[in-house]
């Protein structure tokens, strides 16, 4: 029986939020879909879009919650239950304003920090022991409203930097499935 690995990208559903700073997780998931040749689809009675594929003896499940960001944990809890997967075989991808734009940071585990999606996940599953990929979007300019900033879109110059980060994060997630978290951290964190 194949071991299941879950890759979850966080964001907000809908065109209003598409390709905003807060949807970096969704942008990375688009890259992973392209690399694996799959398409995320809505599942009945499940608060997320899912795609399944395999890499040798490993089953890979991609998930994009269809809840809003601050309710991401509801989807993740059901996902872990549905696939009977321990949290350490799940990697979560999300934006981080505390990292410079385009910086990718991969960790084995850790707290939720100030990210509402991660807070929701930690609250819902009661654990912090799962890998994560943070994609830096940079902090807001002085005096800028935080919500307006994270829900804003990239400038053309930022988009070039962020596209490279999305590709690196996608490659890191797939490296994690294939070779483990240490290999993913060595590859993704040093660039």
Question: What confidence tens digit (pLDDT) does each residue in 94-149 have?
Answer: 999 999 999 999 999 998 888 999 999 999 999 999 999 999 999 888 888 888 88
pLDDT at 170: 98
The rounded distance, in Å, linking the Cα atoms of 142 and 13 is 28
Distance from C-alpha of 99 to C-alpha of 104, rounded to nearest angstrom: 8
Question: What is the model's pLDDT at position 191?
Answer: 60
Given a contact cutoff of 8 angstroms between Cβ atoms, the answer to whether 93 and 9 are in contact is yes
Q: Note the pLDDT tens digit of each residue in 58-86.
A: 999 999 999 989 999 999 999 999 999 99
**Is CATH 1.10.150.250 what the domain over 3-189 is classified as, yes or no?**
no
What Cα–Cα distance (Å) separates residue 173 from each residue in 33, 132, 156, 179, 181?
12, 9, 26, 10, 9
User: For the segment 89-101, what is each residue's pLDDT rounded down to a tens digit?
Assistant: 999 999 999 999 9
In the prediction, which pLDDT does 74 show? 97
The neighbour count for residue 128, using CB atoms within 10 Å, is 14
In 10 A of CB 97, how many CB atoms? Answer: 20
Q: Provide the percentage of residues in the chain whose pLDDT is more than 70.
A: 99
Known catalytic residue: 115?
Answer: no
Q: Of 5, 9, 22, 83, which is the active-site residue?
A: 22
Q: What are the structural domain ranges in the chain?
A: 3-189
Q: What is the pLDDT of residue 185?
A: 96
Name the percent of the chain lying above pLDDT 90. 83
Average pLDDT of the chain, as a whole number: 94
């Amino acid at each position: 029986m194949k071991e299941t690995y879950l890759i979850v990208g966080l964001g907000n559903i809908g065109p209003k939020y598409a390709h905003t700073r807060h949807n970096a997780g969704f942008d990375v998931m688009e890259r992973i879909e392209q690399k694996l040749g799959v398409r995320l689809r809505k599942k009945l009675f499940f608060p997320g879009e899912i795609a399944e594929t395999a890499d040798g003896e490993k089953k890979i499940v991609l998930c994009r919650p269809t809840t809003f960001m601050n309710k991401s944990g509801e989807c993740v809890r059901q996902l872990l239950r549905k696939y009977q997967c321990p949290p350490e075989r799940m990697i979560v991808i999300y934006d981080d304003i505390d990292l410079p734009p385009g910086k990718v940071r991969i960790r084995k585990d850790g707290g939720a920090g100030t990210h509402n999606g991660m807070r929701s996940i930690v609250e819902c599953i009661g654990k912090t022991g799962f890998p994560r990929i943070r994609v830096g979007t940079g902090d807001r300019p002085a005096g800028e409203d935080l919500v307006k900033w994270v829900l804003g879109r990239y400038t053309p110059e930022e988009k070039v930097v962020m596209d490279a980060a999305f590709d690196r994060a996608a490659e890191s997630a797939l490296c994690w499935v294939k070779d483990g978290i240490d290999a993913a951290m060595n590859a993704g964190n040093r660039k």
